Structure formats: C-alpha cells, structure tokens
A and B are shown apart, each in its own frame.
Chain A
C-alpha cells in the first residue's frame, strides 16, 4: 500500500529515517532532473538535490500539509537553484557536450536527448533569465499547472501565466538567433506552431 506523503512527512518530523528514505526514493529522479534543467549542470543538479533532501529532513517541522507535498519539495529545490544561478551568473558554464558524455557514460539519461535540436534548446534555456526559466521548466518539463507553479514560486497565477508566456516567446527568439542551422530554425518554427 502506498503511504500518503503527508503521513511520511509526519514520520520524518519524528526522525524516522526509513520514511525519509522513502521520500528520497520517490522524488530523487524528478528533483535531479528539474535541477538539471534549471542549472544545465548534472553534477551541480545532484549536489543541489542532496541539499534539497537535507532541508526536507531538517526543516520537516516547518512543513504544513496545506498544499501538495511535491510543491513544497519543488519550492525548496527552486530556491536553491535560484541562489545557485545568482552565484553562477558571473562564472563559466560547463559545456553541454561534457554533460551529455557523462550521461551516456553513467546511463542516467532517459530518451534521446543527444541531438543538435536538444543542444540548441538547452543553450536557449540557459540563456533564459531564471525568472522565466523556472516557470517554463515547471510547466513544460515537469508538467505542473499554473496554479501549482504559483504555489511553488509564491507568485500570483497572473504573474506565472505572464512569465510562462514571455519565457516561451524569449526561448523562441533565442532559438532563432542562436544558430543559423536548419535544425534550430525548424525547432523555433515547431515551437511557434506548438504554442500558437
């Protein structure tokens, strides 16, 4: 029987490590993927994911079951990602090729992402301001609703809606500008058609 996440958290609050391990097992892939999409750096994503789960454990007493548990975990993860991106703003990013090589070597990837299209999309996403990147990833990669995103990033639904729309538009522009290759243009067109 699948234990309720709120119940798991109430156990974690009492220091139950088995309940915590269950939460880690449930969310590890989602959080690592989310943080990877946010940062574009797999190792950084893993480190931030660990920090996210540490906070889940040590801040368990601050958790209130008013919203979905996943929203709370994503709030922690997105705050960590935002802080990291601020620091990273003035530093050099790791080339995506290196990450993809790691992914192939470590077999942590799912689906065929190693293509020119994916690389261009990744670059466009990295160029996007975190203010827009976060809601776009939560919506288009993680599949959250606008209301859920509003809870996660603690902004009104209208703001979320505007940021998603603007973020998508900017992504499309980046894709058009970034490369003159046929794949990127095709993707930009595809994006435009898909979102129209």
Chain B
C-alpha cells in the first residue's frame, strides 16, 4: 500500500537558472585565491618553525649550558668555583710549583749556631704542586 505523505504539499523549489555559472565563477575565483594562500601558509609555518628553533636554542644556551665563568670572575666571587669538585676536568686545573728551602729557614730560626739539624726525606714522592 502506498504511504500517504502530507509533506509533499510543501512543493519543491529549483536552483536559479544561473546557479551553475555562479558556481563555476566562484570555483575559478577560489582556485585563483587558494593557491597563493597555501604557499603563503607554507612560508608562514616555515618561518614560525625556524623562530621556535631559534628560541629553543637561546633558552638552552642561557639556562641549561651555563658556562662556569673566567678565573678572574671566580676570584671576584662572580662565578662558582668548581676546582674543589672531583669531577672537575684536569685540563682546567692550573699546577703551581713552589720551591721552598727549608734548611735556610730552620737555620734562621735556631738560636744556637752549633746545632746540627738532620733533614730526612720522609717520602720518595715528588711534590706535584698545588691545584687551584
């Protein structure tokens, strides 16, 4: 049995006569404007990406890879002294050799000139110097 449909009474409308021409005009217009827009978008995203990379590089350099500072800065207390740390690389330590003549000093201190002091070498190891 055929189903009764009251909504048929609404009637149907059609597209206007110039509908297709308007569509094709709009398509041509969009095609013209869309292509440059996509190239511009690509350029914009590339520029944005590069800027983000640059910012990351700067942040890493400033906050993560902080340099220990110069020796003069350290002496002035402007930079942390890392020489005491065991992990400090050997290349950064500065060896200083200080030669001392203890015999002269002891003689100078002694009141009795006939007294003889025997200085004995207590270690075979040579002095390596002082590390700052």
Contacts and interface: CB of A to CB of B under 8 A. Distances in A.
Contacts of A31: 15
Interface of B is mostly: helix
Contacts of A21: 20, 23-24
A57 B10 contact: no
Taking residues whose C-beta sits less than 8 angstroms from the other chain, chain A's interface range is 35 or more
B16 A33 contact: no
A46 B34 CA distance: 23
Nearest to A113: B11
Given A32-B19, A46-B19, A108 B14 contact: yes
Interface of A is mostly: helix
A21 B22 CA distance: 11
Contacts of A190: 4, 6
Interface of A: 17, 20-21, 24-25, 28-29, 31-33, 36-37, 42, 45-46, 49-50, 53-54, 57-58, 103, 106, 108-115, 117-118, 121-122, 125, 136-137, 140-141, 187, 190-191, 193-195
A-B complex: 6 closest residue pairs judged by Cβ atoms: A113-B11, A194-B4, A28-B15, A140-B7, A32-B15, A111-B11
